[in-house]
Chains A and B, each alone.
Chain A
Amino acid sequence: MNCIIIDDEAAARAIVKQLCSKIPDVDVIEEFENAIDAIKFLNQHDVDMVFLDIHMPGFTGVDFVQTLKNPPRIVLTTSDTEFGIAAYEYEAIVDYLVKPITLERFEKSIEKVKKTLNPISNKDVAADQDLSMGEDLYINIDRRLIKLKFKEILVIEAKGDYIDIKTVKEKFRVHTTLKKIKEKLPEKLFLQIHRSYIINFTKIIDIEDNSVLIEKSVVPISRSSRPELMRRLNLL
């Protein structure tokens, strides 16, 4: 996987280059201190991934993204911790890294890019998994197995040694953990957005800064879950 680095700060470019050198199959083929030179390069070369500083004087990272017709996968690098949501307004933007970037976070970002470069195989895996799960889940309530349709489940909340499963019609308390039930749920419908909450992604009514509204339930979003949630939204 080849990449280029765009940042007006030499130290920032050196950091990304050093981090890339620690990942076996990532090659930095060029680096630029401004976005315009990078665009000229991209017009003549195939590039898999761009590390892009969003805050540059003159022609900014956002200008860069808007200018390219078929941009490569982009990972934003930024000193602003509050940049999260805006980062996902463009399809090409896969992730954003807050400076100073750590190796651990950098590796996660590379993994995300790799997944988007092989979207078909990933979708196939998810589809196979969902197919094998069927459309229902059986829960044990007072020695009775009750069938719940996945599409009727709204929110699942951890409650100590129990979980509460809220459906369209009623609520069930089951003796299990969030981790265990998560393994039984199809990924295309469900998403864990907080340490204590899994939601049916298709039932979201709206999203505010730190919470989602599902039917009449307001569910908190943890900071670490927000990027995945934003990635799965069909943002206009």
Chain B
Amino acid sequence: MQEQPNLNYVNQLSGDDLEFRDSFISIIKQEFPKEKELYLNCIDKQMTKQTADIVHKIKHKFSILGMEESYRMAVNYERELLEGRTNSENEFKSVLQIIEVYLNII
């Protein structure tokens, strides 16, 4: 079974500050789809360096959402891209899909 996101880090960061928690989740909900779109756009246009840059940014979302294995995969994928390879592309896209679904239900 593929790794699932969670809000452990977000809850720890928020503590009793529910206002921050809501606002932070809202930021992720707004920011993630844009990053995903930019990523897919860079892939389509085969802009390898830009793809690596956006993967670098997106991988922080993986760690915020407690997805440690996916984070390690993204680190590896970023390295692949900088070396001109795309072996982990499907795996990365699959994690993006999982996060997208998760963000729609929280």
A, B assembled together: yes
Could you tell me if A18 and B53 are in contact, using CB atoms closer than 8 angstroms?
A: no
Q: Which residue of A lies closest to B13 (CB)?
A: A18
Could you tell me if A9 and B60 are in contact, using CB atoms closer than 8 angstroms?
A: yes
Could you tell me if A79 and B13 are in contact, using CB atoms closer than 8 angstroms?
A: no
Answer yes or no: B17 CB below 8 A from chain A CBs: yes
Chain B, range 6-57, C-beta contacts under 8 Å to A:
9, 12-14, 17, 20, 23-24, 27-28, 30-31, 50, 53, 56-57
Tell me, in angstroms, the Cα distance from A9 to B35 when the chains sit together.
10
Contact of B27 among A10, A79, A102, A103 (CB under 8 A): A10
Size of B's binding interface in residues, CB under 8 A? 21
Could you tell me if A79 and B56 are in contact, using CB atoms closer than 8 angstroms?
A: yes
Could you tell me if B63 and A55 are in contact, using CB atoms closer than 8 angstroms?
A: no
Could you tell me if A9 and B9 are in contact, using CB atoms closer than 8 angstroms?
A: no
Interface residues as binary, A13-28 with B (CB distance below 8 Å gives 1, 0 otherwise): 0110011000000000
Could you tell me if B20 and A10 are in contact, using CB atoms closer than 8 angstroms?
A: no
Kindly count the residue-residue contacts between A and B in the assembled complex, taking CB atoms under 8 Å apart: 46
Tell me, in angstroms, the Cα distance from A10 to B32 when the chains sit together.
10
Q: Which residue of B lies closest to A9 (CB)?
A: B57
Question: Distance (Å) between the CB of B65 and the closest chain A CB?
Answer: 9
Could you tell me if A100 and B60 are in contact, using CB atoms closer than 8 angstroms?
A: yes
Question: Distance (Å) between the CB of B74 and the closest chain A CB?
Answer: 9
Could you tell me if B53 and A57 are in contact, using CB atoms closer than 8 angstroms?
A: yes
Could you tell me if B31 and A9 are in contact, using CB atoms closer than 8 angstroms?
A: yes
Could you tell me if A100 and B9 are in contact, using CB atoms closer than 8 angstroms?
A: yes
Could you tell me if B64 and A11 are in contact, using CB atoms closer than 8 angstroms?
A: yes
Q: Which residue of B lies closest to A13 (CB)?
A: B27
Contact of B60 among A11, A19, A102, A103 (CB under 8 A): A11
Tell me, in angstroms, the Cα distance from A84 to B8 when the chains sit together.
27
Question: Distance (Å) between the CB of B78 and the closest chain A CB?
Answer: 9
Q: Which residue of A lies closest to B66 (CB)?
A: A100
What are the residues of chain A within 8 A of B28 when measuring CB–CB? 11
Interface residues as binary, A42-82 with B (CB distance below 8 Å gives 1, 0 otherwise): 00000000000001010000000000000000000001000
Question: Distance (Å) between the CB of B95 and the closest chain A CB?
Answer: 15
Contact of B23 among A8, A12, A14, A103 (CB under 8 A): A14
Could you tell me if B56 and A14 are in contact, using CB atoms closer than 8 angstroms?
A: no
Answer yes or no: A188 CB below 8 A from chain B CBs: no
Could you tell me if B57 and A100 are in contact, using CB atoms closer than 8 angstroms?
A: no
Q: Which residue of A lies closest to B56 (CB)?
A: A55
Interface residues as binary, A99-124 with B (CB distance below 8 Å gives 1, 0 otherwise): 11011000000000000000000000
Could you tell me if A11 and B27 are in contact, using CB atoms closer than 8 angstroms?
A: yes
Question: Distance (Å) between the CB of B41 and the closest chain A CB?
Answer: 14
Tell me, in angstroms, the Cα distance from A18 to B57 when the chains sit together.
20
Tell me, in angstroms, the Cα distance from A70 to B87 when the chains sit together.
44
Residue of A9, A11, A102 ringed by the most chain B CB atoms within 10 A: A11
Contact of A15 among B13, B50, B56 (CB under 8 A): B13
20 sampled A-B residue pairs with Cβ under 8 A: A9-B31, A9-B57, A10-B27, A10-B30, A10-B31, A11-B24, A11-B31, A14-B20, A14-B23, A14-B24, A14-B27, A15-B24, A15-B64, A55-B53, A55-B56, A57-B53, A79-B56, A79-B59, A99-B60, A103-B12
